[in-house]
Structure 1
Amino acid sequence: MPNLKGYRPFNPLFEQLFNSYYNGIGKPFPRDKRGLLSRPSLGEVLRYRLWVDEAMQALLADTSLWPLIELGLNHEQQHQELLLTDLQYCWSVNPLAPAYAAPMNETKFTHQKISWHEFGGGIHSIGYQGNAFSFDNEGPRHSVLVSDGAIANRLITTREYLEFMADDGYQRPDLWLADGWAWVQQNAIEAPLYWRETHDGWRRFSLHGDQPLALDNPVTHVSFYEADAYARWAGARLPTEAEWELVASKQAVVGGFQESAYWYPQGAANDQSLQQLFGETWQWTSSTYQAYPKYKPAAGAVGEYNGKFMCNQMVLRGASCLTPVAHARASYRNFFYPHERWQFTGIRLARF
């Protein structure tokens, strides 16, 4: 803790062990080897936590450090979600299909046809505005040109995605981007992550264990490539992040979040209203992750937090069923590589 005079590290080796990607403070631990670590033990981690908590008492008295501490708290919220999705991924390979949370009775949702909500084109402003916390990649607020268009009132369901699969969606190269088709072929992709076909039909694994597919719940754990291919098959497209924010900024932040303790996306209400913009599952956009105009990363190691990842990744908007509700807002920009799907990632369509 460079901001606390006289601080003595709990274990000097922890600086590298828990350094995920900050080259400015030392050598990070290799990302591809994180899953091989079995130490420190839980007891040692808890003792380390108490050690840091005691040091934080002194740091909290220094108001000049509050913005940095606030950033740390919001970063921890991100890891609350990541811990659960990482746990789900690790447990998914166990043939016993262990459940982290008790199985819950599926709420039955009625299938409804998509309706389209139009938005007007022109010059619009996007990016965070206000006095509360936001990450640096949410700004600066700036003007964008948006064409007239329409966005689907809800997320694509499992039932609808099965129709894409039944129509040979994974066997038709005309539906896929070149990189996406290569990914499908090289990895023998034939369904969303965590799905498996049995003699009784398709089933899926989640934090609630192994269960049959919930047909009218949102499809999730799909890559950008799959979302893009589905949109093309459906005669539509994915929204840009500017279109998504233009629409979402006029809506209340409501949906299924981490606090509900039901950690799988829930279906839409049986009406034509605009819904599921927040919570349930992150929504792929067609926008590449890049800096907004006049963006400047902060000085020092904190500047590595977002800026250096603005390359070869796609933007997702909304939030998921594992996102803390306080973490969701219209300007929030999540981002992943186009092949990744271990997060709760789903599909909302748009059209011109």
Structure 2
Amino acid sequence: MQGGATARLPDPGEGLAARYSRVRAGTMALAEGLSAEDMTVQSMPDASPVKWHLAHTSWFFETFLLTPGLPGYRPFHPSFGYLFNSYYEAVGARHPRPMRGLLTRPGVAEVIAYRRHVDEAMAALLAQGREEPAALVALGLAHEEQHQELIVMDLLHLLSLNPLAPAWKPMRRPAPCEADPGRWLSFDGGIRSIGWDGSHHGSHCGGGFAFDNEGPRHEVLLRPFRLFSRPVTNGEWLAFIEAGGYGEPSLWLSDGWAAVQAQGWQAPAYWRRRDDGWTGFTPAGDLPFDPDAPVCHVSFYEADAFARWAGKRLPLEAEWEVAAEGLEPAGNTLGSGLLRPAAAPARRDGRPGQMFGDVWEWTASAYSPYPGFRPAAGAVGEYNGKFMANQMVLRGGCCATPDGHVRASYRNFFYPHQRWMFAGVRLAEDA
């Protein structure tokens, strides 16, 4: 475990009904202590209110499992299919995403009643013991875990706009450690296989489930490369700021420089300059940042500019996966309770540290289909495939990713200008 994290891997003996109950309860646990106002407001078009997340994850099970698969099931409300569809064109019309924060009705109590209605029906469906819906239930649970991370991301962005800098969760301190000074690790080139193929289990694949965008498993040709043993730290990023990195156009891609100028970026998102130094906004409010912890909330453009400034580059996603293969996919994830990146001790086995948890790591790879990729038939085929343009791949999970959710083949993706997610940087170079 990294930095005193207490993340858990999935129990291979956990039944589907037990896992369903655990994941659904985990979502509600994130909402504990929030007011109805906290759960209703939408801070920007990319984010969604907590209340909407609670309803949408229930809509998924109702739409794709209960309505077609449970005889006699009656949808909770005839309008919820319109209100809580996200982007599934095949399912029908939907409420515009930028206007989700205007949905003062249904209220939080009615949304929670909706969740109970769906959970009771799902218990009846799962009690039938049929094998056919198992894969779709697994997808629905992985989908809900993604929304658990989104709840943390979106709520943090919302609260960061409040001038009172309110705390959402009490601060839990990371375990003290001697921080990893970092070193370069060498990897051989050659023909390597990456991606998930559904036939092997364990730390590489994270068990028997993967999203469709993680496969098919295929061969890639890599040149010898080196990867740094840990992510870039807050202290190293501060040196980039003090060296004028945000004001030097030669370091930036054209679109990145335009974003710097348009958005006025001078530091990572949530960094605030105080008289006595920098702080970072966290779920526990404003805190002095740890110079040894991984830098977080930076865009792809910032990651790329930092790498240029350092005389290095970002890793290809294939390089990242090759370096991560065989490592236990656990670290400072949601179950640790830290909800922020933490410094980690150096590994003694010659393998890279903090590959899982703490921060998602930008790669230099565009999000595109693997050779032979085919989206699933029907509406669920819209889950990943239609987003394979104009976005970049991130790897490894973060401090808000549910325990056991990621694996070495897991591909996350965001637009290069976005930075409200827990995204950081790991450097690479040619060998």
TM-score (norm 2): 0.79
Equivalent of 2:116 in 50, 75, 100: 50
Which sits farther off after the overlay, 36-45 or 92-101?
36-45
Give, in angstroms, the shift of residue 314 of structure 1: 0.3
1:165 partnered with 2:231 = no
Query: Partner residue of 2:68?
Result: 2
Match of 2:281? 205
Q: Which is further off, 197-206 or 170-179?
A: 197-206
Q: In 2, distance between residues paired with 1:270 and 1:328? A: 22
Identify which of 398, 405, 428 aligns with 1:320. Answer: 398
Say which is worse superposed, 124-133 or 264-273, in terms of deviation: 264-273
Match of 2:21 in 1: none
Distance in 2, matches of 1:63 and 1:253, equals 28
Aligned to 1:140: 216
Distance 1:280 1:251 in 2: 15
Q: Could you say what secondary structure the match of 1:327 adopts?
A: coil
- Percent identity between matched residues is 53
Moved more, 126-135 or 283-292: 126-135
Residue 27 of structure 2 is aligned to residue 27 of structure 1: no
- Look up the match of 1:127: 195
C-alpha distance after superposition, 1:143-176 (max 9, x if no partner): 0111101000001000000000001000000000
Distance 2:71 2:191 in 1: 50
Instruction: Confirm or deny: 8 A CA contact 2:91 2:379 kept in the other structure.
Output: yes
How far residue 258 of structure 1 moved from its aligned partner, in angstroms, is 0.5
SS at match of 2:273: strand
Deviation string for 1:230-263 (max 9, x for gaps)?
0000010000000000010132223101001111
Q: Of 74, 81, 92, which residue of structure 1 is paired with 2:149?
A: 81
Q: Which runs of 5+ in 1 are unaligned?
A: none
Match in the other structure for 2:387: 309
Shift of 1:4: 2.5
- Contact in 2 for aligned 1:224/1:338 (Cα 8 Å): yes
Pairwise CA distance, 1:270: 4.2
Q: 1:270 and 1:3 mapped to 2: Cα distance? A: 50
User: Do the aligned residues in 2 keep the contact of 1:221 with 1:342 (CA within 8 Å)?
Assistant: yes
| Residue in structure 2 matched with residue 267 of structure 1 by the alignment | 343
For structure 2, the residue ranges without an aligned partner over 5 or more in a row are 1-66, 202-207
State the partner residue of 1:183: 259
1:67 aligns with 2:145: no
Deviates more, 1:138-147 or 1:104-113: 104-113
Q: Distance in 2 between matches of 1:171 and 1:159?
A: 19
- Quick check: 218-227 or 203-212, which moved more? 203-212
2:162 — aligned with what? 94
1:17 matched residue in structure 2: 83
Compute the displacement of 1:108 (Å). 5.1
Supply the distance in 1 between the matched residues of 2:225 and 2:68 (Cα, whole angstroms).
Answer: 51
Amino acid in the other structure paired with 1:266: A
Q: Is the 8 A contact 2:225 2:429 kept in 1?
A: yes
- Counterpart of 2:361 in structure 1 is 283
How far apart are the structure 2 equivalents of 1:53 and 1:253?
29
- Residue number in structure 1 paired with 2:11: none
The amino acid of 1:16's aligned partner reads Y
Cα distance per residue 1:112-168 (max 9 Å; x no partner)? 543111111111000014260000000000001111010000010000000000010
Aligned-partner Cα distance in 2 for 1:234–1:219: 15
Deviations 1:25-60 (A, max 9, x none): 011221212233333222111111111112213322
Give the match for residue 296 of structure 1: 374
CA change 1:107–1:95 in 2 (3 A) is: farther
Q: Deviations over 1:56-80 (max 9, x none)?
A: 1332223211111111011111111
The alignment partner of 2:294 has SS state of: coil
1:223 match:
299
Q: Deviations over 1:66-113 (max 9, x none)?
A: 111111011111111111111111111111111111123465554554
